[in-house]
Structure 1
């Protein structure tokens, strides 16, 4: 395979993650953190967890600057257009 040409490193096809959605579920004290590149996907994840009432705590953090956009426990809910 020494005849193959290489053009250098390949650039990623998916944009970098911009949001982290953290959640805590009561039994058996399960915690998770998922990352999303697009705000609508992070917002949908939050909406589905709220509808299903499976999480006791949900928090969304913008990774660029560490701003908390949503926190169920303390009542923080930034408007979707500011995400």
Structure 2
């Protein structure tokens, strides 16, 4: 049973989050922020919120540099290929 204990930590099982989808929803939900690693998943989440017209404000921000990639109110929608 020796060798079970490792001196180095194991790598994380999930990749780090790279995008944050922020939304403002009607009360009682209020504001929400969800994080995603893959750009396709973040884009799909923002698109679905827009399509069902559930949120009054939707933003997608790249966590690494704070760039807004999608903003419903401002009309910003950078193509997915550039996320």
Q: How does 1:1-83 map to 2 (within 5 A)?
A: 5-7=4-6, 8-28=8-28, 30-83=30-83
Q: Distance in 2 between matches of 1:5 and 1:28?
A: 48
Q: CA deviation at 1:14?
A: 1.2
* Alignment root-mean-square deviation, CA: 1.6
Q: CA deviation at 1:13?
A: 1.9
Q: Deviations over 1:41-67 (max 9, x none)?
A: 001101110111100000000011100
TM-score, normalised by the number of residues in structure 2: 0.90
Flag structure 2 segments of 5+ consecutive residues without an equivalent: none
Secondary structure (helix, strand or coil) at the match of 1:81 reads helix
Flag structure 1 segments of 5+ consecutive residues without an equivalent: none
Q: Distance in 2 between matches of 1:6 and 1:55?
A: 48
TM-score, normalised by the number of residues in structure 1: 0.90
